[in-house]
Amino acid sequence: MTVKTEAVGREWPATTYEVGKEKIGEYARVIGLDNPVYFDREAARAAGYRDVVAPPMFAVVYSSPAVGPAMLDPDVGMNFAAMVHGGQEFEWNEPACSGDEITTTAKCLDISEKDGKGFYVFETNAVNQNGDLVARGTWTLIVRGV
Amino acid sequence: MADLNVGDAIPELKVTPDKYLPHRYAGASGDFNPIHIDPELAKAVGLPGTILHGLYMMGLVARAATDLADGDPGKLKRLSVQFRGMGAPETEIAVTGTVKEAGDGKVTVDVVAAQGDNQTIRNAEAEVQL
């Protein structure tokens, strides 16, 4: 068996996510972050942010709704039962703050096969309401026994 | 922030996630994959029990990296990781790192997250502005 590659280069419909103050706080508490910029508007503003600011890895929260359907697409054809998250990269640009509306698109960058494993690479680009890039993500999923 | 030079170790971050951490991370992140929250299902698919979300451990790596810039989230510019092992709740995670490049007001750090000998995140690289 071999991997299907017809989805390489495909883009999926954009998703939008409005960043909320309490959602940022919830995420920050789980990670154990205690900088007041994640909880307190005045502290965030004093630190130079427009509003309560999201931790960098909150990028997962606003980007996942875009990349999820890409991963589930039958044309991509990943066997979820044999899938592991192999690697992840984010590059951050403009901070994501409470009240921001973030639009994320997902694209399939590459599908390849090596030693009986399928490698599926997706890219997400998240931009804010001003059109500024917030975070670019590269998601690598590995499927055993393709 | 103190000077960081090539070869310097970054301050170690140690966290022991409790039994219910994966539930809270699922709620915070929206990732409710049952292998993280349902011990019976996890065992049925051959795991010893529920496993931590890889992206939670990456969140701890990001925390250790932003700590280099006094915890300022805007200073972490890039983070790239490979997930190489499964993490378990109720076991201490140690995030360690070594400065690989330094200059022009930023550092690139090689980072590892491990539970004992089990390196759950390896080949991780963080770029932080100081």
Find the helix or strand (DSSP H, E) in which B57 lies: helix B54-67
CATH of residue A91: 3.10.129.10
* B125 and B111 Cβ atoms separated by less than 8 Å: yes
A124 vs B48, which has greater pLDDT? A124
Closest CA to B76 of A99, A17, A95: A95
User: What total number of domains does chain A contain?
Assistant: 1
Distance from the Cα of residue B4 to its chain's centroid:
20
Tens of pLDDT, residues B33-48: 999 999 999 999 888 9
Does residue B76 have a pLDDT over 60? yes
Nearest CA in chain B to A48: B74
Look up the CATH architecture of domain B13-19+56-129.
Answer: Roll (3.10)
CB distance B78–A90 less than 8 Å? yes
Tokens standing for residue B32:
């409710």
pTM comes to 0.96
Residue A122 falls within a domain, yes or no? Answer: yes
State the ipTM, two decimals. 0.95
CA angle A97, A139, B34 (to 5 degrees): 90
Residue A1 falls within a domain, yes or no? Answer: no
**Which of B:13-32 have CB within 8 Å of A?**
15, 21, 24-25, 27-31
Domain that includes residue A88, residue range: 11-19+55-144
Would you list the domain boundaries of chain B? 13-19+56-129
* B1 and B68 Cβ atoms separated by less than 8 Å: yes
CB distance B59–A35 less than 8 Å? no
Does residue B129 have a pLDDT over 60? yes
Residue A91 falls within a domain, yes or no? Answer: yes
* B17 and B56 Cβ atoms separated by less than 8 Å: yes
Residue A26 falls within a domain, yes or no? Answer: no
Residue A127 falls within a domain, yes or no? Answer: yes
